[in-house]
Structure 1
Amino acid sequence: MGKLVSWPAALLLIVPIAPALHYLVGAPQLWIFFAAAAAIAVLADWVRRATEQVADQVGPAIGGLLNISFGSLAELILAIFVLTSGKADVVRAQITGSIIGTSLFGLGLAIVVGSIGREKQLFKRERAGQLSSLLILAVIALLLPAVFDYTGRSSTASGRLVVTDEQLSIGVSIVLLVLYAANLVYTLITHRDVFASDEPRGSEASWSLLASLAVLVTTTAVIALEAHLVSGALEATSESSGLSPLFLGVIILSLVGTASDLFAASWFARQGKMGLVLNICVGSAIQIALVVAPSLVLISWLIGQPMTLVFSSPLDLFAIVGTAFIVNAIAADGETTWFEGVLLVGVYVLFGLAFFFV
């Protein structure tokens, strides 16, 4: 399998802690929750590594599709298990947290790290413009069900709508998935030369295709186990820690799912690859909005736990909208400075405080 012994391999020692605490020790749910959450963050990085190794061997077009398809796998699995426990509001909070976490905290931290010793960093405005435009489009689509719900109920005497929130959410989800599929065709096939990155990621190890697939399958299965433990301990953790389920979803669960992207973004920023950083951070937020969120709506109906895209909290809506417009402003000039990174992290901290006190 090549050179696998490294600090990421050492972090795999975290993975068996939560199952041992749950099945052998019978430890408090709070310990199990955070141990399993840490394990998911570690495993998400291995999913990313295995996917990149497969992508290197199957060509740029298919490889790009694989990176996109498996980029948010850990977040999707975690959200599904939380959803099966009937906590759709926590899943919506996780969606909000993932969007603001990668776009504000992840991008801001990467800009700060990458700006050490540099006056500014440059990136391709074409790709950044497309990413920010997609993010704004996704935000508008996510706002639609909430606006529809509020407008419909306030403008009808009975408060009942001709089309339900569930039906509208399914329709919006299908449109979002179709739009994202069109974006894949545009960036990976018809306009591949325009959006091809001139900043290669570089491979840390050379694995065989069989080994890469084995790592991908194994880590996915273990993530499912850890996600089951997280969802089972969520309510007890909220009670014992004093943290609301909303805060756990927006901050803790979202950071767990996106930890791999956050570390990768800072790593590439330090190497001066700001174009890759934008692809990782903003691209991850777009995946959440255009792929993960609509997929969860459709999956929720299949498993008998229907979820809508109606974000009832004004704070959720304000955070998502604010994030989209901040990213659009950052991407407009094709360069970043350390102060912009500090501003992004600062806004994320303010949102975190707001969700904590709510």
Structure 2
Amino acid sequence: MKWLLVLVPIAIALEHFAPGNDLLVFAVAAGGIVPLASIMAQATGSLATRLGPGLGGLLNATFGNAAELIIALAALRAGLHDMVKASLAGTIIGNILFVLGVAMVLGGTRHGDQSYDARAARTQATMLTLAVTALIIPAAYLAIVPQAQVQMTSMSALIAGIMLAVYVANVAFTLVRSRADAAAAAGQPGHGDLHHGPHWTPGKAMAVLCAVTVGIIWLSEILVGTVEAASEAMGFSDAFTGVFVLAVIGGAAEQATAIVAARHNRMDLSMSITLGASVQLALLVAPLLVLLSFFVGPHPMGLVFGPGLVLTILFAVIIAGQVASDGRADWLRGVQLLAVYLILATVFFFVPDAAG
């Protein structure tokens, strides 16, 4: 896959020398993100071997969501609030349904039944339920009291602050538990031999992660500049593009790592990445964007998601809670998750205003 790295400078060159060919620039930039995501998967896997699946998953989610945050900030500057919300919702449901589904299918067909830490997965699923509650309540309140539109900005800011505080508590809990799990596993035979790939030193792995993240951020900026024209050229609605195109591209880094981890029988790391990235998007990125919108863009962005987006996130979180209940994964569960994702994609494709 390394030969695809040639697409990175090509995308940068096309942005400057072929500004009118938006679909070509969009496609090349999206392709350039793929090898960068693969390198990020290798670096994160090397770090996860030393730090444990919990902390490794948190680290990967942080670096992986950097592209999503940059895409969203660029859209905020342009006042594309609906596109921001659609992309956030799409990445959350994509991680839970598509990425985890593919990981379970590939891991299950290769290793049969796979196990993971059900306690950690249930904790993440509970955090997602809390996040969905924070998204549903403002939308429900506005539906019941339409005249409360003026208060939505202040309400969104306060709820965003609460969500950020909960995320900080989640990170602290994860760090403490990761140290305890690492200490308990240190004496077990074979500990540290689960990583299939380059065994880099922590310093080298972090340097690679930082460099690759810069590349992904750069290409993400190019994507934002061409996404509307490319979407129109492909015949996609804005809702479908935000939920199922930008979301997949923005989350490519953690998606690649989660799938590779499952193929190497690291379902614990795969679950930590997919659920952890969704938690970070819902409890960190989304409220952070709400607060930043007071300073970026033409007007503040509320925390009120459209009913279609709220329902899709709710369905995905309910299924995630069921999957995370017993600490076991197999290929049939992966097929079930993918089926729900394809059903949602079909609906969004044929209903242009689904994001509203």
Shorter-chain TM-score range: 0.7 to 0.9
Q: Which whole-Å CA distance do the structure 1 matches of 2:57 and 2:180 have between them?
A: 13
Which residue number corresponds to residue 280 of structure 2?
287
Which residue number corresponds to residue 311 of structure 1?
305
Superposed displacement of residue 78, structure 1: 1.6
Which residue number corresponds to residue 342 of structure 1?
335
Q: Which whole-Å CA distance do the structure 1 matches of 2:54 and 2:339 have between them?
A: 37
Q: What one-letter code is carried by the residue in structure 2 that aligns with 1:352?
A: A
1:188 and 2:175 matched = yes
Which residue number corresponds to residue 263 of structure 1?
256
Which residue number corresponds to residue 230 of structure 1?
223
Equivalent of residue 175 in structure 1, options 162, 178, 181: 162
Equivalent of residue 250 in structure 1, options 235, 243, 268: 243
Which residue number corresponds to residue 197 of structure 2?
204
Which residue number corresponds to residue 323 of structure 1?
316
Q: What one-letter code is carried by the residue in structure 1 that aligns with 2:341?
A: Y
Q: Counterparts of 1:102-113 in structure 2 under 5 Å? A: 102-113=95-106
Q: Which whole-Å CA distance do the structure 2 matches of 1:118 and 1:264 have between them?
A: 18
Which residue number corresponds to residue 149 of structure 1?
142
**Could you tell me the TM-score, scaled by structure 2's length?**
0.86
Which residue number corresponds to residue 299 of structure 1?
292
Superposed displacement of residue 57, structure 1: 8.1
Which residue number corresponds to residue 120 of structure 2?
127
Determine if contact 2:110/2:263 at 8 Å carries over to the other structure: no
Q: Which whole-Å CA distance do the structure 2 matches of 1:131 and 1:142 have between them?
A: 17
Q: What one-letter code is carried by the residue in structure 2 that aligns with 1:15?
A: V
Q: What one-letter code is carried by the residue in structure 1 that aligns with 2:305?
A: F
Which residue number corresponds to residue 156 of structure 1?
none
Q: Which whole-Å CA distance do the structure 1 matches of 2:94 and 2:51 have between them?
A: 31
Deviation track 1:139-159 (CA, whole Å, cap 9, x = no partner) reads: 111222212221221xxxxx2
Q: Which whole-Å CA distance do the structure 2 matches of 1:75 and 1:254 have between them?
A: 8
Which residue number corresponds to residue 90 of structure 1?
83
Local SS of the residue matching 1:301: coil
Deviation track 1:79-135 (CA, whole Å, cap 9, x = no partner) reads: 211222221101100011101101001111111111115442222221111111111
Q: Which whole-Å CA distance do the structure 1 matches of 2:249 and 2:118 have between them?
A: 30
Q: What one-letter code is carried by the residue in structure 2 that aligns with 1:169?
A: S
Q: Which whole-Å CA distance do the structure 1 matches of 2:267 and 2:96 have between them?
A: 14
Which residue number corresponds to residue 234 of structure 2?
241
Which residue number corresponds to residue 72 of structure 1?
65
Q: What one-letter code is carried by the residue in structure 2 that aligns with 1:168?
A: M
Q: Which whole-Å CA distance do the structure 1 matches of 2:59 and 2:215 have between them?
A: 20
Determine if contact 1:107/1:281 at 8 Å carries over to the other structure: yes
Provide structure 1 residue ranges, at least 5 long, that are not aligned to the other structure. 1-6, 154-158
Identical amino acids, percent of aligned pairs: 37
Q: Which whole-Å CA distance do the structure 2 matches of 1:197 and 1:34 have between them?
A: 46
Local SS of the residue matching 1:86: coil
Q: Which whole-Å CA distance do the structure 2 matches of 1:277 and 1:56 have between them?
A: 13
Local SS of the residue matching 1:302: coil
Q: Which whole-Å CA distance do the structure 2 matches of 1:249 and 1:169 have between them?
A: 22
Q: Which whole-Å CA distance do the structure 2 matches of 1:126 and 1:69 have between them?
A: 22
Q: What one-letter code is carried by the residue in structure 2 that aligns with 1:185?
A: A
Provide structure 2 residue ranges, at least 5 long, that are not aligned to the other structure. 186-190, 352-356
Q: Which whole-Å CA distance do the structure 2 matches of 1:98 and 1:257 have between them?
A: 8
Determine if contact 2:53/2:268 at 8 Å carries over to the other structure: no
Higher deviation after alignment, 345-354 or 119-128: 119-128
Distance 1:113 1:210, change over 3 A: closer
Distance 1:64 1:333, change over 3 A: closer
Determine if contact 2:33/2:219 at 8 Å carries over to the other structure: yes
Distance 1:242 1:191, change over 3 A: closer
Deviation track 1:301-329 (CA, whole Å, cap 9, x = no partner) reads: 222342222112x2211100000000101
Higher deviation after alignment, 84-93 or 257-266: 257-266
Superposed displacement of residue 233, structure 1: 1.2
Superposed displacement of residue 223, structure 1: 3.0
Distance 1:178 1:243, change over 3 A: same
Q: Which whole-Å CA distance do the structure 2 matches of 1:146 and 1:160 have between them?
A: 11
Distance 1:188 1:115, change over 3 A: same
Determine if contact 2:103/2:270 at 8 Å carries over to the other structure: yes
Which residue number corresponds to residue 354 of structure 2?
none
Deviation track 1:216-258 (CA, whole Å, cap 9, x = no partner) reads: 4443433333222212212212222211111111011110122
Equivalent of residue 277 in structure 1, options 251, 257, 270: 270
- Give the paired residue count: 344
Deviation track 1:21-74 (CA, whole Å, cap 9, x = no partner) reads: 221234511111222223234434444555666777899998776445323111
Superposed displacement of residue 203, structure 1: 7.0
Which residue number corresponds to residue 7 of structure 2?
14
